[in-house]
Structure 1
Amino acid sequence: MTKAARGWTIAALVATVALLATSLAWAVGGGVTLSTQRGAWPMFRAGAPGEGLADLPGTVVDVVAADMAMMGGSGMMGGRSADAGSWPSGWMSLTAHRADVPAGTVTLRVVNGGSVDHELVVLPLPDGQRVGQRDVGADGTVDESTSLGEASATNAEGEGEGIAPGAQGWVTLDLKPGRYELVCNLPGHYAAGMETLLVVR
């Protein structure tokens, strides 16, 4: 194994352990608590981020945006830039606390548990297509012309410039029965693993 490959392997292991430790801390109750009840995410309810969230309409789906980027400026382990859209596959994720919901009013509430900005875009999923199969353009994004809405504002509803680390955003939509792909469409994030399935029945 070359020295560079060994460095990447060590960096990936350290990042994986850090992400698993954070997830375990949340699961054990040291931070975020996922639940189907409104008013979840106690870790993020201090001050402005949690204001009024108990009144979100419809079925609330909590989604965690995560990445294995390490703190310290805009850099990432291995020397890749967080702004360059050059993220290794599997270094980011979107995780919804429930994968299916009844049709009607649905609020998607996104907590950014990572260290760079993220967003959530809702895209209908064509028959026969699985999540993660969209074509990624030269700019590192997927076509979002069929988007039904997005949560990309820090501590606010709807569109914005991205949800900052440690913050949250949300979007309320009227969803018909079908399959939807939830994605982060910031450059490089989809290819790095930021997609998940939502089924509306």
Structure 2
Amino acid sequence: MKTMSRIAALGLAAAMLMGSSAGVVQAASLVQVTLWDKGASTEMPMGLAYATPGLDLSKATMGIKAVPGAVKAGEVTFNVKNDSKDTVHEMIVMYLADPGKPLPYVEAENRVDEDKAGDKGEVSELDPGKSGTLTVELKAGKYLLICNVPGHFGAGMWAELTVDP
């Protein structure tokens, strides 16, 4: 009888542990983002925007590095650092409804149309050496992290981010 009670107690304890773990809150995913460039005196080549045919990012004189490049859906925190010595940058999270298509671009302003592109949040203009943080709720899909300071996106300042279910 004692053995049966002990087995039942162990089973009940295991069930309680399994049940209580369902209520555990999942921590936010963390993405480290670095905004970089080769200096303000370096000429910015254009034609390096996302989804440009024949894209050769080896010519980019500025960019965004995001680690990791994939996270789970839910709350995502971006720690953003502008590693430039002399140029202001920003980071904007854009949802890619159709990952094969370019973002809507305003040629006259040399920048992405943020309203049409689906801006999900941003760390606004960061002075050289400064940092900022953004936490947003993201659903599964493809996203693009961009700098939308005029000319920067077209010069290759973007990075892809995958959000898994």
Which structure 2 residue ranges, 5 or more long, are not aligned?
Answer: 1-26, 47-59
CA contact (8 A) 2:111 2:149 kept: yes
Distance 1:135 1:147, change over 3 A: closer
CA contact (8 A) 2:42 2:61 kept: no
| 1:129 Cα deviation from its structure 2 partner | 1.8
What is the TM-score when the length of structure 1 is the normalising length?
0.57
Q: What's the CA shift string for 1:51-96, capped at 9, x where partnerless?
A: xxxxxx71110011001115xxxxx146xxxxxxxx2241110010
Q: What's the CA shift string for 1:72-124, capped at 9, x where partnerless?
A: xxxx146xxxxxxxx22411100101110011110111110113010011111
Q: Which AA in structure 2 matches 1:127?
A: D
| 1:175 is the counterpart of 2:138 | yes
Map 1:129-140 to 2 at 5 A.
129=100, 133-137=102-106, 138-140=108-110
Show the counterpart of 1:193.
156
Which structure 1 residue ranges, 5 or more long, are not aligned?
Answer: 1-56, 71-75, 79-86, 153-161
Say what the alpha-carbon RMSD is for the aligned residues: 1.6
Out of 100, 112, 127, the residue aligned to residue 82 of structure 2 is 112
Percent of residue pairs bearing the same amino acid type: 36
Question: RCO (CA 8 Å, sep 6+): is it higher in 1 or 2?
Answer: 2
| Secondary structure, aligned partner of 2:75 | strand
Out of 113, 120, 123, the residue aligned to residue 148 of structure 1 is 120
Out of 65, 75, 78, the residue aligned to residue 35 of structure 2 is 65
Map 1:4-23 to 2 at 5 A.
none
Show the counterpart of 1:88.
45
Count of aligned pairs between the two proteins: 121
Show the counterpart of 2:70.
100
Counterparts of 1:77 and 1:123, CA distance in 2: 27
Distance 1:77 1:181, change over 3 A: closer
Show the counterpart of 1:126.
97
- Structure 1 segments of 4+ aligned residues over 4 angstroms from their partners: none
